[in-house]
């Protein structure tokens, strides 16, 4: 078998010291294979968001090994981690994190701007990404002119515009109603199924986790359960509006 895309070994994360010390992660062991769709679940304070931040190179572990494509991420400098994020990772957040006075097109172009791509390439790639999430024709609209579901689609387009190996989605449906939530899950499912993008999703919603092929449960800073989903959802419910897939 090939090496896992992601491998965590003995990952701990400590905040504070002395009486104020908090152990957010307590020796996490986790392998993620390329092309998986994994839902990470757990109650508030279980460590799931801390683990996601480490996986996304937004934070570093106190101890342990984090290997990405065989490279020791825990040993990288801040600049090296930033380059890894730009090349391999895309992010989708609960709060959308769009620039309020910036058009959908410009929001999607941002990762390419940080990467140093020229304006022509940025415009073309952002246009394709917006088209792929069903927002062709909405390029000039600002977030205030878009619904919550449309804003999250812009955020997904921004996450995939760099053609990442992994999309990390932190409560991507937390601010959406049920119908829009299923639409967004349909997009993530298509990215995983049709394009082979590895999807790691933090969620507390069982009906959203049902789309994943693997369920990882965090409790008190540890992986308490790691199982295959025997019957993953494969389609958006009929009462949810259809959306274009990439």
Q: Are 168 and 219 in contact (CB under 8 A)?
A: no
Measured CA distances, 175 to 107, 150, 235 (Å)? 19, 12, 21
Q: What is the dihedral of CA 7, 5, 195, 125, to 10 degrees?
A: 100
- The pLDDT score that the predictor gives to residue 17 is 87
CA atoms within 13 Å, Cβ hemisphere of 23: 11
- pLDDT digits 0-9 by tens, 148-190: 999 999 999 999 999 999 999 999 998 899 999 999 999 999 9
Tell me what percent of the chain is helix, strand and coil, each rounded to the nearest 5: 35, 25, 40
Which residues lie below 8 Å from residue 159, measured CB to CB, with a gap of 6+? 90, 91, 92, 167, 169
Q: pLDDT confidence of 239, banded at 50, 70, 90?
A: low
Q: pLDDT confidence of 22, banded at 50, 70, 90?
A: very high
What is the CA angle 134-137-138, rounded to 5?
80
> Against a cut of 0.75, is the pTM above it?
yes
- The answer on pLDDT for 29 being more than 60 is yes
Helix pair angle (104-115, 119-132), 10° resolution: 130
192 φ/ψ angles, rounded to the nearest 5 degrees: -75, -50
- The pLDDT score that the predictor gives to residue 242 is 44
- pLDDT digits 0-9 by tens, 125-139: 999 999 999 999 999
CATH pick for 6-228 out of 3.40.50.11030, 3.10.20.600, 3.40.640.10, 3.40.50.300: 3.40.50.300
- The answer on pLDDT for 226 being more than 90 is yes
Q: pLDDT confidence of 234, banded at 50, 70, 90?
A: confident
Q: pLDDT confidence of 220, banded at 50, 70, 90?
A: very high
- The pLDDT score that the predictor gives to residue 1 is 55
Q: Are 188 and 33 in contact (CB under 8 A)?
A: no
Q: Are 50 and 25 in contact (CB under 8 A)?
A: yes
- The residue among 181, 155, 157, 159 whose CA lies nearest residue 239 is 181
């Amino acid at each position: 078998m090939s090496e896992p895309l992601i491998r965590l070994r003995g990952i701990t994360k400590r905040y504070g010291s002395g009486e104020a010390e908090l152990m957010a992660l307590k020796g996490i062991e986790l392998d993620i294979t390329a092309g998986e769709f994994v839902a990470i679940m757990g109650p508030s304070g279980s460590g799931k968001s801390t683990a996601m931040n480490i996986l996304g190179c937004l934070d570093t572990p106190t101890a342990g090994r984090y290997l990405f494509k065989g490279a020791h991420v825990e040993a990288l400098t801040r600049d090296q981690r930033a380059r890894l994020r730009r090349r391999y990772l895309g992010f989708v957040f609960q709060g959308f994190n769009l620039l309020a006075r910036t058009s959908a097109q410009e929001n999607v172009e941002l990762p390419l701007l940080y990467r140093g791509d020229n304006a022509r390439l940025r415009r073309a790639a952002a246009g394709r990404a917006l088209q792929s999430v069903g927002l062709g024709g909405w390029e000039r609209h600002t977030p205030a002119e878009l619904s919550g579901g449309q804003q999250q689609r812009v955020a997904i387009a921004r996450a995939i515009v760099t053609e990442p190996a992994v999309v990390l989605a932190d409560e991507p449906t937390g601010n959406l109603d049920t119908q829009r939530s299923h639409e967004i899950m349909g997009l993530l499912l298509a990215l995983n199924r049709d394009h082979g993008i590895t999807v790691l999703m933090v969620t507390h919603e069982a009906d959203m986790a049902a789309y994943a092929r693997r369920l990882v449960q965090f409790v008190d800073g540890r992986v308490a359960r790691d199982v295959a989903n025997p019957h993953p959802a494969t389609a958006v419910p009929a009462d949810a509006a259809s959306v274009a897939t990439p």
